[in-house]
A and B are shown apart, each in its own frame.
Chain A
Amino acid sequence: MNTMVLLENVSKRFGSTVALQEVNIEIFAGEFLTFLGPSGCGKTTCLRLISGFERPSTGRVILDGRDVTGDPPYLRDVNQVFQTYALFPHLSVRDNIAFGLRMKKLPLAETRERVDKIIEVVSLDGLADRKPSQLSGGQKQRVALARAVVCQPKVLLLDEPLSALDAKLRHQMRLELKSLQKRLGITFVFVTHDQEEALAMSDRIVVMNLGRVEQIGGATEIYHRPATRFVASFIGDTNIVEAEVLGTDDGKILCRLEGGLQVLVRARNAPPDGKILVSLRPEKIRIHKTRPPGENVFRATVISEVFKGAVDDLTLRTEGGLELGVLDTNEGSDEVEFDVGEDAWCRIHPDDVIILGG
């Protein structure tokens, strides 16, 4: 895979605010990469470093093999879809879309051809002569998208482009964006604070917090094998439990959790020692009426239960006093139910106990 963008040891300070610290990110040609993190973590700053609206305080920005750290935005082969769309209000849809090509001084005939083509691709047929003020939110979004991709940029940057849309349209646009990206083969760099959006669309996700990269990986990797406490708790719900390493045995680590419960953990890297943090996803803890076979089986009491349709949201307390959230899927209609106060057998597979770093 070719590298399209490289952020190399990039730091960015605004006065005394440190927006980015020693960030290293490699973006591959043709991938859909998402920056995910809470508000203020530096996602927009990353995009603006790539588009050229900000310069890094230290470090380099490499675009398609060329150092563009000092280049102004209008000299970079990168286009952006802005959160507010920023359509030019005095220009028609067609002229908005043609703007970039006109700046590049493309021949008129080619400009026309490419604009017509992209209008079709983003299903804006029949709206070409309208002004932006005569468009709905979803249509504006498409114009902003068309205006950027018609320039055939090396990278398309999208800063929370769906956040201004209503929920239904947002879900539809997710799919459209993803399929558009597949069809055009353009590298998409997407920014969102919405984990669902990130998980649904991305080839890879960069999880950020407080100006640092916490983890880079595919959606399933980030969900199932979070690298840090932040990633584990930011993406989905989880139980984060302090633990102490007791020993190693046959590729597994024996840990004692808070409250005294002892569990086996699959060792992925070099076994850590001393105090650690582990993550136990609620849906990975299985509960039974009778004692199941296998490892990591323990008893706990149901202390609360909320029926949520597809799942029961339970809280259990172990004999040692450790409280765990558990999701019990309601697969069959004759599903065994647990009442508050009842004792249950719990089991978690050693693969599903995740040791967190950082």
Chain B
Amino acid sequence: MELERTIPASRISPPPAPARGWPGLLRLVHLSLAGWTWAVFAFFYIPILLLAVYSFNDSKLNIVWQGFTTKWYGLLFENRVLLEAFRNSLIIGAVTTLAATALGTAGAWILHRYRYPFAGWIGLLIFIPMVIPEVLMGVSLLSLFSSLGVPRGFVTVIIAHVTFCFPFVLIGVQARLDGIDPFLEEAAMDLGATPWQAFRLVILPYLLPAVVAGALMAFTLSLDEYIVTLFTTGSQSQTLPLKVYGMAKVGLNPQINALSTLFVAATILLVISGELIKKARSR
């Protein structure tokens, strides 16, 4: 998520070249804007960089550099508790991604394609899970599950994750649908495709960049979700963020540094590949 937060900063950089002959004031403004941009970058990335550096530090303490080692990575891969939490996170993330992507894509298409009463209100309601405070959402889901007598575990976490992930997919797909040729579906049906074939062979390929981007987004969101997970998970379905926080409370452990480094690297790879796919596809 670190990458996400820096987007506003990257928008103001690089500053446009100052107009020729303008007094120094404008130059000053541009320079300080550039400086601000770099400061924001530094603020976000230096901690991550330090984290990565100390994951190779041959000391149990984070503060002093003792020498290079990869032993924390070795220990990490023998750490049953963390590995199991990691596996749980992957399972929950994968299932959430599939469900949220399917739901978000289908939802966007249905909202776009069909007219029905209260369409505007339904469109608004869908976005509430995106903006509602996570604590509220956690509490409300918890009370829903317990009043229904559903035991907490994988199923409940996944339901919770899908609930806040699918609107992100929906928004992205909706944005792409805004620019669609209104007769694409009819053209396919005109050429002999059934409505389902038209969706699968024409509409879906057109939406694919947005669908892939949405899926990556959903996966990332699910993977590092803490609060909602805390409220809805059971003892057998502890996720990595929960475990890591639990460990960090006891004391900083270089294994967590190693794990976080791997995580950040994977996230960056995912986001970059998502962007690349989107670019290549929309060309």
Q: How many angstroms from the CA of A88 to the CA of B203 in the assembled complex? A: 9
Residues of A within 8 A of B79 (CB): none
Query: Quick check: A99 and B181 within 8 Å, CB to CB?
Result: no
Asked if A82 and B191 make an inter-chain contact with CB atoms under 8 angstroms apart, the answer reads: no
B192 and A82 contact, CB distance less than 8 A: no
Residues of A within 8 A of B143 (CB): none
Contact yes or no, B187 A86, CB < 8 A? yes
A53 x B186 contact (CB < 8 A)? yes
Decide if B206 is an interface residue (CB 8 Å cutoff).
Answer: yes
Which of these, A72, A83, A147, contacts B191 with CB under 8 Å? Answer: A147
A104 interface residue per 8 A CB criterion: yes
Partner of A100, one of B183, B191, B202: B191
Q: How far is the CB of A134 from chain B (nearest CB, A)?
A: 10
Cβ of B205 within 8 Å of any chain A Cβ, yes or no, is yes
If over half of B's interface residues share one DSSP class (helix, strand or loop), that class is named, otherwise mixed; here it is helix
Contacts of A74 in B (CB 8 A): 189-194
Interface size class of B (residues with CB under 8 A): 20 to 34
* Chain B CB within 10 Å, residue with most, of A72, A83, A103: A103
Q: Which residue of B lies closest to A72 (CB)?
A: B189
Cα of A88 to Cα of B182 in the assembled complex, Å: 12
Query: Would you call A100 and B192 a contact (CB within 8 A)?
Result: yes
Is B184 an interface position by the 8 A CB rule? yes
B197 contacts A by Cβ under 8 Å? yes
| Contact of A90 with B205 at beta-carbon distance under 8 Å, contacts A74-B189, A104-B192 already known | yes
Q: Tell yes or no: B94 within 8 A of A by CB.
A: no
B188 at the interface (CB under 8 A from A): yes
A99 to B205: give the CA distance in the assembly, Å: 14
Distance A148 CA – B187 CA, assembled complex (angstroms): 9
Chain B residues positioned under 8 Å from A104 (CB to CB): 192
Q: Mark B31-50, 1 if CB is under 8 A from A, else 0.
A: 00000000000000000000
Which of B190, B205, B208 has the most C-beta atoms of chain A within 10 angstroms of its own C-beta? Answer: B190
A-chain residues with CB within 8 Å of residue B190 when the two chains form the complex: 51, 73-74, 78-80, 148
User: What is the distance, in angstroms, from B186's C-beta to the closest C-beta of chain A?
Assistant: 6
CB neighbours (8 Å) of A103 from chain B are 191-193, 197
Residue in A closest to B193 when the chains form the complex, CB atoms: A103
Contacting pair A86 B194 (CB below 8 A) = no
Q: Which residue of B lies closest to A83 (CB)?
A: B183
B193 neighbours in A (Cβ, 8 Å): 74, 99, 103
Taking CB atoms and an 8 Å cut-off, the chain B residues in 187-236 that contact chain A are 187-194, 197, 201-202, 205-206, 208
Residues of A within 8 Å of B192, CB to CB, are 74, 100, 103-104, 151
Is the Cβ of B183 less than 8 Å from the Cβ of A82?
yes
Q: Which residue of A lies closest to B202 (CB)?
A: A88
Q: Which of A76-115 contact B (CB under 8 A)?
A: 78-80, 82-91, 99-100, 103-104
Please give, as numbers and ranges, the residues of chain A lying within 8 Å of B181 by CB-CB distance.
Answer: 84-87, 89
Shortest distance between the CB of B195 and any CB in chain A (Å): 8
A79 touches B191 (CB 8 A): yes
User: B283 — nearest CB in chain A belongs to which residue?
Assistant: A133
Q: Give, as a whole number of angstroms, the nearest-CB distance from A21 to chain B.
A: 25
Instruction: State which residues 99-150 of A face B: CB under 8 Å.
Output: 99-100, 103-104, 133, 147-148
Give bound CA distance, A90 to B209, whole Å.
11
Q: How many Å lie between the Cα of A89 and that of B192 in the bound state? A: 18
Q: Which of A53, A79, A90, A100 contacts B206 (CB 8 A)?
A: A90
Q: Specify the chain A residue showing the minimal Cβ separation from B184.
A: A86
**Shortest distance from the beta carbon of B4 to any chain A beta carbon, whole Å:** 28
Interface residues of A in 45-82 (CB under 8 A from B): 51, 53, 72-74, 78-80, 82
Instruction: Please give the distance in Å from A69's CB to the nearest CB on chain B.
Output: 17
Residues of B within 8 A of A83 (CB): 183
Question: Known interface pairs A74-B194, A103-B197. Does A88 touch B189 (Cβ–Cβ under 8 Å)?
Answer: no
Interface of chain A residues 286 through 333 with chain B (CB within 8 A): none
When distances are taken between beta carbons in the complex, the residues of chain A under 8 Å from B189 are 53, 72-74
Are A88 and B184 touching (Cβ within 8 A)? yes
A-B contact pairs, 20 of them (CB 8 A): A53-B186, A74-B192, A74-B194, A79-B191, A80-B190, A82-B183, A82-B186, A82-B187, A84-B181, A89-B206, A90-B208, A99-B193, A100-B192, A103-B191, A103-B192, A103-B197, A104-B192, A133-B283, A147-B191, A148-B190
Closest 10 A-B residue pairs measured CB to CB?
Answer: A103-B192, A100-B191, A86-B187, A86-B183, A90-B205, A82-B183, A73-B189, A74-B192, A80-B190, A86-B181
